[in-house]
Amino acid sequence: MNAFMAHRPSTVLVIAGVAVAAFTATGEETAPGRDTIAADELRRDVFQLASDEMGGRLVGTAGNRQAAEFIAQRFDALGLIPIGDEGRYFHNFDLVVANLGRSNSFEAHVDGSDVRAELGEDFYPERFSGSGRAKGSLAFVGFGISAPSLDHDDYGTFDVSARVVVVLDHEPGEAENDSVFDGLFSSEHARGVRKALEAQRRGASAVLFVSDLHNHSFPSSVQGEMDEVWSPSLPRVPPYQLGAWVSDIHIPAVRISVDLARRLFGDSGLSLVELSEMAETEGGMSPVERTDVFVEVTATVERELVPEKNVVGLIEGTDPELRDEWVILCAHYDHEGTTNRGIFRGADDDASGVAGLLEIAEAYARASDGGQHPRRSILFAAWNAEELGLLGAWAYTERPLRDLEDTVAVINLDMIGRHEEIPENAESRFRGLKPQTADSNRNAVNILGYSYSTDLRRAVVAANLDTALDLRFRYDDNRSNLLRRSDHWPFLFSGVPAVFVHTGLHPDYHTERDEADKLDYAKMTRIVSLAHQLSWDLAQSDSRPALN
């Protein structure tokens, strides 16, 4: 599970054009193959994935590649269909590592005067910037967000072709609980890479990012930020970006200082703070153009592509009308690797989920051997690069193996082997979670994503009739933002009903103490049985769950 303190859940982009009948899933038909789900097999697979030889499964390491091969071999042994690229069990995607090139400059002509900016003091290229030289007159477009599903558009009908656009960080209403962007944390719409892609789509020649000064105080220089973004010393884990996003950006995307922005807009009749406040206009602001300000910017960012892979296998459905609809069962196989503190084994996070995934795949395979097949198809997916920002799952939503509108639901297993335990005065990664003991959660499992689909919530409850776990529906709207910290989130954002099955955080989370002998394999067996039953109910139903 990703440890990054992501921000608030964003309003879902609903896939249009999917007719959905009233969903029913009673859980009355026991999923065939359940008796193959065994605690000793779960234990065996967790110990293997959390072993010394896999070294913490960090992206880009031999241990990570070994984990992928281990999962693929198991899929093969179970007879799952190799549905991935080139008829194999791998769904390929690229990560990007960016390096700052030598040629970077920024000049402006403002009211008859030349302004020359200094790299590192006044500006720097963003990591996702394209390379090249761009020029044009200036246009301020507020937060630079176009979100039709929220009736918000900062561009409107204004033509920014061949212009250099200035956009603010974050989004409107960030201090308002009832913001259309859903509360007090930044949504997906606030991602800089998304704003750059939108500016490029609109025809802008370059995009300049500046701090939203009306909401926050910032230094006038960007020196500290540049030192962090373009640090000369390589971190243990490179700052990877998703190739599917970054590789599509061709225009310069440059961070400018508050001081430089003030110089560019100094005589517009509106201060930078006043312009920023205009960006809070409901539904989007009207862009402000400065035809008398001409900017020429050069950015050089060298991109290194790093190929990575998810592991995927399919159990094909047999219903001629439903087999092309998929239910996705998933978990992530990467973790934090090895440091001078030792191996971050990630037994709970998320060897537990992968072991559960393999057990459910075996249950389906054995049931199919006996002639009991699901009506819909089941995709088993082990995502990579979750700890880097859910990048493997995001990569899948960018290039799905079947259109997302044909994905009925996603069941994500992440950290299913322990009991939630939040200490008193817990550190920031536990923020928003009330103190609680492991013993108080001994029979509990958290279900997240429930508020996005009442149908799917009901299906979870129905699937739990036999397993009788204490289902906790409590964290969809919580400052911990667990909802956006695992691989179901890219699907929810893309309009696919999804649930996150999760036994909760604990003091060993993201430490070298997350070890295989600390998991409760008897409880895991019941949780895996619940997920198996839920997937079977979704695969067999005449209808499909709807988003609220």
Q: Is the pLDDT of residue 17 over 70?
A: no
Task: Look at residue 6 and tell me if it is in a domain.
Answer: no
Q: Distance between CA atoms of 287 and 272, rounded to whole angstroms?
A: 14
Q: Which tokens in the block code for residue 346?
A: 């990630």
Domain C-terminal end among 299, 315, 335: 299
pLDDT of residue 540: 98
Provide CB contacts within 8 A for 110, sequence distance 6+: 263, 264, 266, 267, 292, 293
Q: How far is the C-alpha of 235 from the C-alpha of 231, rounded, in Å? A: 9
- Across residues 539-546, what is the average pLDDT? 97
User: Which has the higher per-residue pLDDT, 40 or 184?
Assistant: 40
Q: Is the peptide bond before 350 cis (omega within 30 degrees of 0)?
A: yes
- Give the pLDDT of residue 427: 85
The separation between CA 301 and the C-alpha centre of its own chain, rounded to angstroms, equals 24
Which pLDDT band, with edges at 50, 70 and 90, does 13 fall under? very low
Read off the pLDDT of residues 90-115 as tens digits, 9 standing for 90 and up.
Answer: 999 999 999 999 999 999 999 888 99
The partner residues of 304 in beta bridges, in order of sequence, read 97
* Same domain? 68 vs 180: no
Question: Are residue 168 and residue 79 in the same domain, yes or no?
Answer: no
* Rounded-to-integer distance, Cα 272 and Cα 292, Å: 17
Tell whether 259 and 382 lie within a shared domain.
Answer: no
Structural domain ending residue among the three candidates 260, 280, 299 = 299
Is 13 among the domain residues? no
Contacts of 252 (CB under 8 A, 6+ apart): 125, 129, 130, 131, 132, 133, 134, 206, 207, 297, 298, 299
279 and 319 in one domain?
A: no
Are residues 483 and 407 part of one domain?
yes
Question: Are residues 215 and 177 located together in one domain of the fold?
Answer: yes
Rounded to whole angstroms, how far apart are CA atoms 29 and 37?
Answer: 17
Task: Note whether 314 and 223 are same-domain residues.
Answer: no
In degrees and rounded to multiples of 5, residue 121 shows phi and psi of -105, -45
pLDDT in tens, 431-457: 889 999 999 999 999 999 999 999 999
CATH number, domain of 500, equals 3.40.630.10
273-324 tens-digit pLDDT: 999 999 999 999 999 999 999 999 999 999 999 999 999 999 999 999 999 9
At residue 18 the predicted structure's pLDDT band, cuts being 50, 70 and 90, is: very low
513-534: pLDDT as tens digits: 999 999 999 999 999 999 999 9
CATH of the domain at 157: 3.50.30.30
Residue 481 reports pLDDT greater than 70: yes
Do 322 and 260 belong together in one domain?
no
Residues 470 and 350 in one domain: yes
User: Which domain, by its residues, includes 247?
Assistant: 102-299
What is the pLDDT confidence band of residue 4, given thresholds at 50, 70 and 90? low
Residue linked to tokens 């000049």: 107
Asked whether residue 219 is domain-assigned, the answer is yes
Give me 253's structure tokens. 């995307």
DSSP string, 108-156: EEETTEEEEPPBTTTEEE-TT---EEEEEEEEE-TT--EEGGGTEESST
Nearest CA to 419 out of 447, 449, 440, 433 is that of: 440
Encode pLDDT of 185-233 as tens digits: 678 999 999 999 999 999 999 999 999 999 988 888 999 999 999 998 8
